[in-house]
Amino acid sequence: MTREETTAKIIAILSEDFEFENPGPTDNLRDDHGFDSIDAIELLGKIEQTILGFSLTREEKERAMTIRTIDDIVNYIEAIRLAHHTP
């Protein structure tokens, strides 16, 4: 999956499941969209299921708690893919 495809999937999830309106790649999820820690946990589950196809470790999930933007999410997913050697 390309970076653009990953970004599109994340935007689709945020729009459909979290009812974000026109999320931008550099929007602060908390400040601009009211995203909270419960939402972050739910989003991680969706990323595991629909994008990565495997479960994240506790450490990987903890690292995700510093994410603030869609660009951060995509960077995080790319780093996880490299660590797990998945395309």
- 3-84: CATH topology: 1.10.1200
Q: Span 46-65, mean pLDDT?
A: 93
How far from 38 is each of 15, 43, 82, CA to CA, in Å? 17, 9, 26
Domain ranges of the chain: 3-84
Residue 65 — pLDDT band, cuts 50, 70, 90? confident
Task: Please provide the distance, in angstroms rounded to a whole number, between the alpha carbons at the two ends of the chain.
Answer: 7
Q: What is the pLDDT of residue 43?
A: 95
pTM of the model: 0.90
